[in-house]
Structure 1
């Protein structure tokens, strides 16, 4: 494990320092066995979404200061998010983070009026919040909302149904027996809806498994969560075929993801499915999906990112010329500076409550401190 982590750090740091940034190397690390080391996620996730991690965006305003048409539903969903927080967290600490979560979601929705909130969006936002902190999570959530999650944020479910409709053709090409059994049961694909719109955040209890999937999805095509869903169902083929062939029984079985899935094998199988069955063959007509249509342009833009050292020099030059440089250095990949940065950041912004969070979080280690900064 230590050897893999050391090799990955060398690979990631080399990719981050190359000009342009070695995006394919970062994707390879995120997709590879085990995903990213925890302390590398704050460095790599922004680059995977073409977000400059050296820019310190403004902190989203508290939810009480933000008005939006979906504010009531956002607050209800955030209030119900308690089970998603790390076990053992004090209610006061969780309350602070829930306020940040609501403020983060409303910030993105207000900045992009064309986006419509859906129940489950808060699960995605919470994962980013726990890994990156509210301020650094905001631009990543915006990018995800405008690209990978864009189809789920339409005013109607038409685009979401289009995404779900890729699942059955995948199953048909891999196992006609399984596909026909599910067709006879008329189970449909609704069982996978919460998987896709939350990137499995609503159905996975183990946070480390969830983060591993986020590494994978952030480094992949927007349809990869569908391919992963197909891998999960195919893995459970014998279990499904042994169930009663009726909609209620099969829906109940499929909608519950077992806790002991072999995630690395499923990630590998999802990638193999993506290679064998390109989405263009599954839906030969012009795709309705905004995320699919815009992905090529998104990838091309991401491939031109400059390394942080170059961006800092440019900003210093701009500042000397009278510009407004807004840059902060990237955190070190080692754990000690990250712990210090997290403690300083929390102490400066949240006061006594933050210090309580920090002292409790020390039991969870530097990764959790990173999530709070």
Structure 2
């Protein structure tokens, strides 16, 4: 990693709560594996992916500064220059980006000095406009800034610019089309996953006609807007960066469960292994989302020249205790008969949609406060 990038990462990591002053033996072994993988020639990206997926993720922001670029095949010795303020002139997205960034106060660590936070907000605007300027095929959406600010807080502005551009042209590509069609197609994967995980809940939600709109903000912000604790957000980003671009929809399916946070991540991985996107596409009868996200994913794999992430994911989850048995127990649940419902049941399921966040709040202290622009302003 270049000297400037390294110094900036070490500075930015101070923004996160320490919490890692003491490492037990398990964490020490994990740290040793991460640094060994980073020092390998060539760098052992497959091991880094497993470390990002496994319990606890990458442990510290300092490590994330070193590993996140490797997961996205970014050369930190040749980072682009910082974006300038001139990008704001006559930019069609500037006003909307400005409004969204101004509303992002809660995304910054509590107690951060106002001048520091305001400086980061200015950096946030410039990074977003820079990526959009360099990639005119990309279209800004409300919620994009929630992903960018998380990366900015961890790695600083210069490295964040490179990371965000790579993510925008690969993992987030489906969300940045001119219309929401691709995003809605990806949301259609949610019900088939829930069906495999819990047929009774699936049938109830289907009969209640609740749809999948409740998960929209989770998906397009990578849960960055709805989780209040930055530590939980960056732990999820470790997981998502190391996995297939569709992994957030698997995680969305396991959220309405009162389980420990790491168990939710593990279960999402189990479901991905057992029910890959290709199988879900057939069940959902929606092929477009797979073509959009998977083609971008394939491009990234060709660019990186590293082991396929889905293969690494399968390898990693096979090593997790009782992963296979846990998945089998999920799949062994008998199908329940379909039941009739009324508007009260539908309201109950809509409550479950928010309850998904309430349950997550018990695990990850999340809150739903976001109102994205989606068709006819479905959210109030």
User: If the length of structure 2 is used for normalisation, what is the TM-score?
Assistant: 0.71
CA drift at 1:297: 3.2
1:261-317 C-alpha deviation (Å, 9 max, x unpaired): 621000100010001111111113644442212312312322359xxxxxxxxxxxx
Deviation at 1:4, TM superposition (A): 3.1
Give 5+ residue unaligned stretches, structure 1: 237-260, 306-373
RMSD over aligned CA atoms reads: 1.7
Check the 8 A contact 1:57/1:135 in 2, yes or no.
yes
Aligned length: 280
2:277 pairs, out of 258, 270, 279, with 279
CA-to-partner distance for each residue in 1:40-60, whole Å, 9 max, x for gaps?
Answer: 100000011111122232011
- Name the CA shift for 1:165/1:107 in 2 (closer, same or farther; >3 Å): same
Q: Is the 8 A contact 2:94 2:129 kept in 1?
A: yes
Query: What residue number does 2:300 align with?
Result: 298
Cα distance in 1 for partners of 2:153, 2:228 equals 15
* SS, match of residue 43 in structure 2: coil
Superposition pairs for residues 10-159 of structure 1, below 5 Å? 10-38=32-60, 39-62=62-85, 65-159=88-182
Q: Residue 65 of structure 1: CA displacement?
A: 4.5
For 1:65 and 1:204, how far apart are their aligned partners in 2? 30
* Deviation readout 1:198-223 (Å, 9 max, x if unpaired): 00001000110111000000000001
Q: How does 1:198-217 map to 2 (within 5 A)?
A: 198-217=221-240
| 97-106 or 14-23, larger mean C-alpha shift | 14-23
Provide Cα deviations, 1:20-70, integer angstroms capped at 9, x if missing partner: 321110000100101102121000000111111222320111367554211
CA contact (8 A) 1:164 1:193 kept: yes
- Are 2:287 and 1:264 equivalent residues in the alignment? no
Over 3 Å counting, the alpha-carbon distance change for 1:166 and 1:47 in structure 2 is same
Kept in 2: contact 1:63–1:99 (CA 8 A): no
Q: Give the unaligned 5+ runs of structure 2.
A: 1-22, 308-380
Q: Distance in 1 between matches of 2:119 and 2:135?
A: 25
| Map 1:235-254 → 2, pairs under 5 A | 235=257
Q: Is the 8 A contact 2:128 2:145 kept in 1?
A: yes
2:31 alignment partner in structure 1: 9
What's the secondary structure of 1:156's corresponding residue? coil
The structure whose RCO (Cα within 8 Å, separation 6+) is larger is 1
Contact 1:46 1:140 (C-alpha < 8 Å) held by counterparts: yes
**CA 1:171–1:107 in structure 2 vs 1: closer, same or farther (change >3 Å)?**
same
